[in-house]
Amino acid sequence: LWESQMASLLSQALRKIYLGHKQLLTNRVIETRLKTRLEVPMLELMKKEELRMRTRDFDVLFSYFYGRIEIVEELWEMMKRQGKEPNLYIRRSLIHQFGKAGRMKEVENIVDRMKQLNINPDVRTFSVLIDCYGKAKNFDEVSRLRNEMAQLNITPNI
């Protein structure tokens, strides 16, 4: 009963925010709701209502749900449906999480999209990529990434 009442209150609050402002959720609302451990009802409402969010809002959610790949994947799909381009921090987080889960196809898709947008990985992103490919035992790709770093005059931080 308590959970259904809280879910109902959460639903009402998010609808007021969404309908009242007809714009984006704020980080404070997201963080407050997550801290009260009502993440599942909140995510369901977000999917049902297709609430528009800022890249920063997605950033908060990706950080909160780090390692929970099913939820991360849902958020990633929602972000793409909303036409949002992730910032470099979100891309790096997604690369790390998908790589850690052994889902190298998703990692490659993110890297390919970065190339399409002429976004060069920074030293941290290269480090995450090298770690992912190393754990996947794809040493040819690790070597290619190290060569690419050298061409871009990026010094490894490890």
Nearest to 79 by CA among 1, 157, 148, 24: 24
Contact 91, 59 (CB under 8 A): no
pLDDT in tens, the chain (158 residues): 455 655 565 555 655 554 444 444 555 555 555 555 555 556 666 666 566 777 887 887 888 778 888 888 888 888 888 888 888 889 999 999 999 999 999 999 999 999 999 988 899 999 999 999 999 999 999 999 999 999 989 887 76
Q: d(Cα 86, Cα 56) in Å, to the nearest integer?
A: 9
**What is residue 37's predicted lDDT score, i.e. its pLDDT?**
53
